[in-house]
Amino acid sequence: MKIYNFSAGPSILPQSTIENTAEAVKNFNGIGLSILEISHRSKDFQAVIDEAVALFKELLDIPEGYSVLFLGGGASMQFCMVPYNLLEKKAAYLNTGTWASKALKEAKLFGEIVEVASSKEALFNYIPKDYTVPADADYFHITTNNTIYGTEIRKDIDSPVPLVADMSSDIFSRPLDVSKYGLIYGGAQKNLAPAGVTFVIVKEELLGKVTRPIPTMLDYRTHIKEGSMFNTPPVLPIYSAMETLRWLKGLGGLAAMEKINLEKAALLYDAIDSSKIFTGTAKEEDRSIMNVCFVMKDEYKELEPEFQKFATERGMSGIKGHRSIGGFRASIYNAMPKSGVQALVDCMKEFERNH
């Protein structure tokens, strides 16, 4: 039976990423050594990280003046690294979910934080639109895709101050206007690579403005200067990231990827909207094209465990919703084929016919 991986992260990766990574683990570049045992300073690995950076720049059309970094520590480390480097007095945060709340909590250690708006009162089922970003804030932080709640800011918003975005779960899902952002970061373990590497795209001119001393490892300038090699970088996840970026390029880049993602999301949301037993949890206009959250309508609520079992038996892996909202969450990241989404839709329809 074919198993489809709908996990929220770590999650599905392109088959070519998995196969080529497995090959590199056995015999990297045909040099007779595993990528697990080579020096990060070898010329073979330098070529990998150079290609990964070049593909980031090409696929996202990153303008001059920005650096691409591969770091450790996860997106969670960026929750403190961003304010450490950018927050002198005041920063603005849009609170759209658990991850945004965590970012905001860390930033409070460094200065005054203005929560410009929050959708917490509605269990984060929408993206607030009515807010003002203080013009004297050092930056404005958003989480573009709320992995847990299935909401997404799918356009590059205008901000009066440098825009900082956690794009852990929607990077590379659509073309971006990077020039509208001061800094973009994310853990790799959704659309890019296995867990272990964190990407940062940073506009260099924003750095060096805070007066506090910054520990060397937490200073973006250290990693820019050393080409992400100040310390030993996560070699294997960077290799996998390079493979995923090659796959994306081969597919036609981010415009082509977005078209496929929109088709997949429409297929699943249409099935939910036309269902008599399922209903979506996120407000329609803010629905994520990466994480589709749905529950059973009140009158069918007791069938949720039965559907969970039914779907799992038919190869749908990882569709259990996050514990904070329950129900189901189908993560349909870049690497999920349309046939996988169709299989889930078929499964939902079959279950509905039986009830």
Catalytic residue numbers read 99, 166, 190
Residue 288, interface with ligand PLP (CB under 6 A)?
no
The yes or no reply on residue 233 touching ligand PLP (CB under 6 A) is no
Cβ(12)–Cβ(335) under 8 Å? yes
Contact assessment for residue 85 and residue 91, using Cβ atoms and an 8 Å cutoff? no
> Is residue 193 involved in binding ligand PLP (CB under 6 A)?
no
CB under 6 A: which stretch of 41-49, 53-61, 73-81, 229-237 binds ligand PLP? 73-81
* Nearest alpha-carbon partner for 184 in 295, 69, 48: 69
- State yes or no: residue 185 binds ligand PLP (CB under 6 A): no
Residue 277 in the binding site for ligand PLP (CB under 6 A): no
Residue 37, CA atoms < 13 Å, CB-side half-sphere: 7
Applying CB under 6 A, which part among 70-78, 110-118, 293-301, 303-311 lies near ligand PLP? 70-78
Give the residue with the Cβ less far from ligand PLP, 186 or 280.
186
Give the one residue of 7, 42, 76, 308 binding ligand PLP; rule: CB under 6 A. Answer: 76
240 belongs to the binding site for ligand PLP (CB under 6 A): no
Assess 191 for contact with ligand PLP (CB under 6 A). no
Taking the C-alpha atoms of residue 189 and residue 238, their distance in angstroms, rounded to an integer, is 11
Spatial CA neighbour of 334 closest among 232, 190, 208: 190
28 versus 99: smaller Cβ distance to ligand PLP: 99
CA torsion, points 76, 174, 172, 27, in degrees to nearest 10? 160
* Interface characters, 4-23, with ligand PLP (x: CB under 6 A): -----x--------------
Rounded Cα gap, residues 187 and 169, in angstroms: 8
> Does residue 99 bind ligand PLP (CB under 6 A)?
yes
Is residue 194 near ligand PLP by the rule CB under 6 A? no
CA–CA gap between residue 147 and residue 322 (Å, rounded): 9
Cβ at position 128, least distance to ligand PLP in Å: 17
Contact 150, 128 (CB under 8 A): no
290: amino acid identity, one letter: M
- The candidate with the shortest Cα–Cα distance to 83, out of 69, 64, 102, 55, is 102
User: Interface mask (CB under 6 A) for ligand PLP, residues 145-174, using x and -?
Assistant: --x------------------x-xx-----
Residues lying near ligand PLP in the complex (CB under 6 A) are found at: 9, 74-76, 99, 143, 147, 166, 168-169, 187
